[in-house]
Amino acid sequence: MMSDTTPSIGRWFAELARRQYFWGIVAIVVLLLINVLKDPTYLSISVSPTTGNLVGNLIDILRAAAPIMLIAVGMCLVVATGGIDLSVGSVMVVSGAVSMEFLHSASGSVGDAFLAFGLAVLISAVLGTVNGVLVAVVGLQPFISTLFIMLAGRGLAKVITGGQNTAATNDSFRWLANGYVFGIPVVFILALLVVIAVGVLVRRSALGLMIEAIGMDPKAARLAGVNRRGLLFTVYIFSAVLAGIAGVFGTASVMTVDVSRTGYQLELDAILAVVIGGTSLAGGKFNITGAVVGALLIATLDKTVVFLGVSSSATPAFKAIVIVVLCLLQSERVRQVFRQRRASRPHTPQKEVIPA
């Protein structure tokens, strides 16, 4: 009878606490608290008197989270199929290089901005197709196929720009990254819309189920009639296109592509976001919301590190350690330790089917 009186918020919260990304949310809160300790006004958001836009650290975090959200969602789908996409960072730089190189020689019109965006997405889709062919048709291990694009892609970007860091001017293009709608950064809105669209597409169609099926058991999925090849193609192209859009966001904010820094090591962020979100790197069940939470956490972490005055070059090392820790938590050995501890308590019945 007690449970009836407890509000449903309590149950909702209990449900949330069971998800792995709950701990991502906790981590975000903790990081923000640390920042508040240093500067009590950290969380304040003000309206800029000149432009009417919202200004504040939280807004900066949202802006920074946008590209990470995109690549994390793409990575999430790839990881669910049992693969990995190490090429997202390089696809970003190629996409950025193509759009900058195009805008560099084009006029500053809105049409050109659209064309640049289209070109960037197109080249990303091509790179995604290469990944898809290598993984789905040739049957290479995903990490080797995408490692090839990861390393060759950066070379490709350098070839496209002739080794330069190409800059360009186009106000419409720049608006994508720096503009505001209703006072909120355009990048974040766009990223959120794309992510929601992907989420709805995946969960409303049967794409999600199919992806999980091939990630959990490729053999059984094939015999059930699931078209593995087509799905892998779709997923790798998806991931690359999302990375391409992220690349546009990344370069548009400064209107320069830095061939050695744009998208550099961002595959780490994407993998980290996916793992924080509770998707196992072994494939199978995936969680897009979790990946978004992971992306927000990473953006918060990046900003916090800068805010606290720690050298930002230290963050990759720190992120690597977090990945290692999360992988450890996912590993059977560590889980067993937890399970044994839990099993020693009497009231948690454990049901499991033993292998025949």
Partner 1 sequence: MTESLPIVEMSDISISFPGVKALDGVNFRLFPGEVHTLMGENGAGKSTLIKALTGVYRIDAGEIFVSGAPTRLNGTSDAQDAGISTVYQEVNLCSNLTIGENVMLGHEVRGPLGINWRATHRAASEVLEKLGLGRLNPRAPLSSLSLALQQLVAISRSMVSRSKVLILDEPTSSLDANEVEQLFTVMRRLRDQDVAILFVSHFLDQVYAISDRLTVLRNGRFEGEYLTPELDRSSLISKMIGKDLVVLESLDSENAVRDHRHTDAPIYRATGISRRGAIEQLDLDLHRGEIVGFAGLLGSGRTELARLIYGADRIETGSVELRGKRVDINSPASALSQRIAFSSENRRDEGIIRDLSVRENLILGVQAKRGWARPIPRKEKDALVSRYLVDLNVRPADPDRAIKNLSGGNQQKVLLGRWLATKPEILILDEPTRGIDVGAKAEIQERVIALADEGVSIVFISSELEEVVRLSDRIVVLKDHRKIAEVANGPSVTADSIITTIAEEGMTDTSAADDDVKEIA
Partner 2 sequence: MSTTTMRQHAPVRAESRGIRNWLKLHVDLLPTLAAIVIFVAMIIYGEVAYGRILQANTLSNLLINNAHLIILAAGMTFVILTGGIDLSVGAIIAFSSVSGVLLINAGWDPWLVMGLMVLIGSAFGVTSGILIQYFNVQPFIATLAMMFLGRGLAAMLSTVPERLADDSPVRLLATNFKLIDGPKVNDLVITPGVIIAVIVVGIAFFVLHRTRMGRTVYAIGGSEQSAGLMGLPVPRTKLWVYVISGTLAGLAAVVYTARLGSAQNITGIGWELDAIAATVIGGTLLTGGVGFVLGSVVGALVLGLMNVLITRDGGIPPEATTIITGCILLVFVLLQRLVLARRRE
Of these, 2, 317, 337, 353, which contacts partner 1 (CB under 8 A)? 353
327 vs 281: CA distance, rounded Å: 8
Query: Site residues for partner 2, window 60-89 (CB under 8 A)?
Result: 84, 86
142 vs 218: CA distance, rounded Å: 14
Instruction: Look at residue 356 and give the partner it binds from partner 1, partner 2, none, a contact being a CB closer than 5 to 8 Å depending on partner kind.
Output: partner 1
244 vs 124: CA distance, rounded Å: 5
Beta bridge mates, 317: none
Closest by CA position to 291, among listed 147, 190, 195: 195
End-to-end CA gap in the chain: 42
Amino acid (one-letter) located at 352: E
- The reply to whether 220 sits near partner 1 by the rule CB under 8 A is yes
Query: Site residues for partner 1, window 223-252 (CB under 8 A)?
Result: 223-227, 231
211 vs 356: CA distance, rounded Å: 27
Instruction: Look at residue 315 and give the partner it binds from partner 2, partner 1, none, a contact being a CB closer than 5 to 8 Å depending on partner kind.
Output: partner 2
- The reply to whether 151 sits near partner 2 by the rule CB under 8 A is yes
- The reply to whether 148 sits near partner 2 by the rule CB under 8 A is yes
Q: Are 185 and 59 in contact (CB under 8 A)?
A: yes
Interface with partner 2 by CB under 8 A: which range of 6-14, 34-42, 193-201, 263-271? 263-271
- The reply to whether 268 sits near partner 2 by the rule CB under 8 A is yes
Closest by CA position to 139, among listed 239, 213, 228, 79: 228
Of these, 17, 209, 308, 310, which contacts partner 1 (CB under 8 A)? 209
- The reply to whether 44 sits near partner 2 by the rule CB under 8 A is no
Instruction: Look at residue 224 and give the partner it binds from partner 1, partner 2, none, a contact being a CB closer than 5 to 8 Å depending on partner kind.
Output: partner 1
- The reply to whether 131 sits near partner 2 by the rule CB under 8 A is no
Beta bridge mates, 54: 47
Regarding beta strands 46-47 and 54-55, do their DSSP bridges make them parallel or antiparallel, or are they unpaired? antiparallel
- The least distance separating partner 1 from the CB of residue 29, rounded to whole angstroms, comes to 31
Residues that bind partner 1 (CB under 8 A): 204-207, 209-210, 212-213, 216-217, 219-227, 231, 284-285, 350-354, 356
